[in-house]
């Protein structure tokens, strides 16, 4: 595994671990979405089993936009690192 892939995987898993701890936000997830446990499990499958880092990243960022998850500064930096390595840019109108 090359170093960029290792960084992406490690950083995405760190973000997921922080999201997984926020059970109070999990209670706010509508019935039309996966539960917090289901979301975390699905994300781990995309990363650990399928190697689908882009899909995991998109689900994470979408979840952060829709739900009031909070991330610590270091975890936010990890997510930004993933975006930079993967060549993503923020396109939403401010």
Quote the number of domains for the chain.
Answer: 1
User: What string of DSSP letters covers 42-75?
Assistant: HHHIIIIIS--HHHHHHHHHHHHHHS-----HHH
Range of the structural domain that residue 43 is part of: 3-86
Over the stretch 47-79, which tens digit does the pLDDT of each residue have?
999 999 999 999 999 999 999 999 999 999 999
Residue 8 belongs to some domain of the structure: yes
Over the stretch 18-37, which tens digit does the pLDDT of each residue have?
999 999 999 999 999 999 99
Residue 36 CA from chain centroid, whole number: 12
- What predicted TM-score, i.e. pTM, was given to this entire model? 0.89
Residue 57 belongs to some domain of the structure: yes
Residue 91 belongs to some domain of the structure: no
């Amino acid at each position: 595994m090359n170093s960029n892939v290792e960084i992406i995987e490690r950083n995405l898993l760190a973000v997921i671990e922080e999201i997984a701890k926020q059970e109070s936000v999990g209670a706010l997830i509508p019935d039309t979405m996966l539960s917090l446990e289901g979301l975390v499990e699905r994300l781990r499958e995309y990363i650990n089993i399928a190697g689908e880092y882009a899909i995991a990243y998109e689900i994470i960022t979408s979840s952060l936009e829709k739900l009031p998850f909070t991330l610590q500064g270091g975890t936010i930096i990890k997510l930004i690192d993933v975006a930079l390595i993967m060549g993503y840019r923020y396109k939403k109108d401010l």
